Amino acid sequence: MGKEIDLLENYPKAKRNLDERLASKNEIDRAIAREFGREFFDGDRNHGYGGFNYMPRFWQPVIPTFKEYWDLTPDSSLLDVGCAKGFMLHDLTTLIPGITVKGVDISEYAIDNVMENMKPHTQVANAMHLPFADDAFDVVISINTVHNLGLNECGKALQEIERVSRGKSFITVDAYRNEEEEERMYAWNLTAKTIMSVDEWIKFFKEVNYNGDYFWFIP
């Protein structure tokens, strides 16, 4: 199996008011968010991002970490599962000119509103059925995406990531290490259907034969 590694260490950390979020979120908000439509990306803050716009300060500091860790070059290929509007892919092609990128997302709204230069490289697809051949990409990334599926579906998505990658992959998922973090996680969560402890995730990775690297989102 791969290893626990924080490849997003240079991604800006947001200050989060969990008490306010817990008080303001309900199951109706979560149901709307899980449609991953306009409301999730560009609607009310209670339903998601409250406006999902490109800002270079988010992904540009992360790309050098990716480049060094996987030795990415213009000859490399990378797939982003859960690419949303293609911001990370855009920054990859900006900082590593010539690299081959593809992105998929379950959200038709996100793909319809993807960055213009990423439109030829992105498509609507389900993480459980990636529309690519075996071993199609040098690297497959999925940030805070597969946990939005139920447990069995999450396992299928991880197996698909394994199938289309050439042995290098990285995912982040909602997790917790103790009771306090678990409480904070459920207060923060809006879309995830599979939330487990760190130890439970690692056991699950072994069960479904996910051999890539991983890290946790813990608010």
User: What's residue 30's pLDDT?
Assistant: 86
Residue 149 confidence (pLDDT)? 97
- CATH number belonging to domain 18-217: 3.40.50.150
Q: What is the pLDDT of residues 172-187, one digit of tens each?
A: 999 999 999 998 898 8
Mean pLDDT (the chain, rounded)? 93
| Phi-psi group of 120: left, alpha or beta (phi > 0 → left; psi -120 to 50 → alpha; rest → beta) | alpha
pLDDT in tens, 106-153: 999 999 999 999 999 999 999 999 999 999 999 999 999 999 999 999
**Given CA atoms 198, 200, 206, 209 in this order, what sign does their dihedral have?**
negative
The domain locations on the chain are 18-217
pLDDT tens per residue, range 75-116 = 999 999 999 999 999 999 999 999 999 999 999 999 999 999
pLDDT at 192 over 80: yes
What confidence score (pLDDT) does residue 125 get?
98
